[in-house]
Amino acid sequence: MGYYDDHSPATRQQKKRRGYMMPTVIGLVLGAVLVLLALPALVQTNLLPYNITVPDDENESTEDGGTIRSEQVEYDVNTQITDVVKEVTPSVVGVVNLQNQSDFWNSQNNPSQAGEGSGVIYKTEGETAYVVTNNHVIEGASEIEVVLHDDTRIPAELIGGDVFTDLAVLKMSSDQVEKVAEIGSSDSVKVGEPAIAIGNPLGLRFAGSVTKGIISGTQRAIPQDFNNDGQEDWQSEVIQTDAAINPGNSGGALINIKGQLIGINSMKIAQSSIEGIGFAIPIDSAIPIIEELEKTGQVTRPFIGVEAYGLNEVPSSEWQSTLNLPEEVEGGLYIRSVSQMSPAAKAGLEPLDVITELDGEPVNDIIDLRKYLYDKKEPGEEIKITYYRDGEQNTTTLTLDTQE
């Protein structure tokens, strides 16, 4: 019988597949052999990105009398960061803001959860533990609860808060407190060094979350508008970091690689969800405020008793026509109103006066005024004020009073 080949396309394709398959199989086999032969040499030269140990006494025999060398891969998941986080986490707590809500049916006030944030246990004294958090976290609270890292809830009492620094101090029972944060120094931090943020982003369901980054900047000045009138009321000096700080992280810990507390995280200062930019209140600036709140429940600051605004908020045409300022005046603080019986009133200051200097130092807006008073003066001290009235320069000395 003769051989018949219909030379169909299908037959030719099958032959082509068989022709391609054989070199592929041979290549895979040769590649595997080369890898097995080269692996011992790679291990000895330490070129692999992981450690391989080859115990001499753990060789196994095969059925044909050969041996299989067993190789054990070792990788240490413990790092300095994991050790630091494990040590610090028990000192970082959740802070729950409870506010009274009226019950329509029985006319009773029932506390309900109005917000969540974070806090740091910074001290224990006898049976009392002290927690620092952000002022905006506990603002308006009728009751406060602190949630430990093991979900234990402890009632806490507000000692005092300060809106300008956005800090508040709580106290609670120390019975179940395991760890107190170690205080570091924010003045010594350097740009580029590691920073770790610990807190409760988006609430207690993500309690104890850890983010890592670097110190992006120090002594940053961030404007604050407390009454939402569109005007800057204060400038907060903060640490900038790219460690993620989200809502709920407020009041949590910013620590260095040694596990020391260097800042109190504040989402309020960030004010918006911008990736890679977070802010924390420097611990060296926070400590005096914390200590004063702990002792007196409030921060005592001096005031002069005026409502004033920067000249940059006044049309330049009004500088001469209304305020009668000479051309050499380039900036200052014009007085809109003076409180009765205030230090300013007693010193003779009047509306439409323009303050240009405090103790010889120039002042341009309300932030300059507050910074000078709060950083360099105390209630009861005197201050020399240079001002213009009806185009003439005058000076007066007043005694600072305590801001209520």
Q: Active-site residue numbers?
A: 136, 166, 250
Cα 310 to Cα 330: distance, rounded to the nearest angstrom? 11
Tokens of 94: 């959740």
User: Which candidate, 240, 202, 193, 200, places its Cα nearest to that of 218?
Assistant: 240
Residues 6+ apart with CB under 8 A from 217: 191, 239, 240
User: Which candidate, 121, 163, 127, 181, places its Cα nearest to that of 293?
Assistant: 163
Cα 357 to chain centroid, rounded: 35
Task: For residue 394, give Cα distances in angstroms to 17, 176, 355, 390.
Answer: 101, 62, 9, 10
Residues 6+ apart with CB under 8 A from 106: none
Cα 261 to Cα 252: distance, rounded to the nearest angstrom? 10
Cα 4 to Cα 18: distance, rounded to the nearest angstrom? 21
Region at 348 (left for phi over 0; alpha for psi -120 to 50; beta for the rest): left
CB 318 within 8 A of CB 183: no
Determine phi and psi for 163, rounding to 5 degrees: -70, -35
* β-pairing verdict for 182-183 and 167-173: unpaired
Determine the residue type at 113: Q
Number of H helices, E strands in the chain: 8, 25
Q: Helix, strand, or coil here: 75?
A: coil
Cα 89 to Cα 1: distance, rounded to the nearest angstrom? 88
Cα 344 to Cα 181: distance, rounded to the nearest angstrom? 44
Provide the greatest CA pair distance for the chain.
Answer: 131
Residues 6+ apart with CB under 8 A from 202: 246, 247, 248
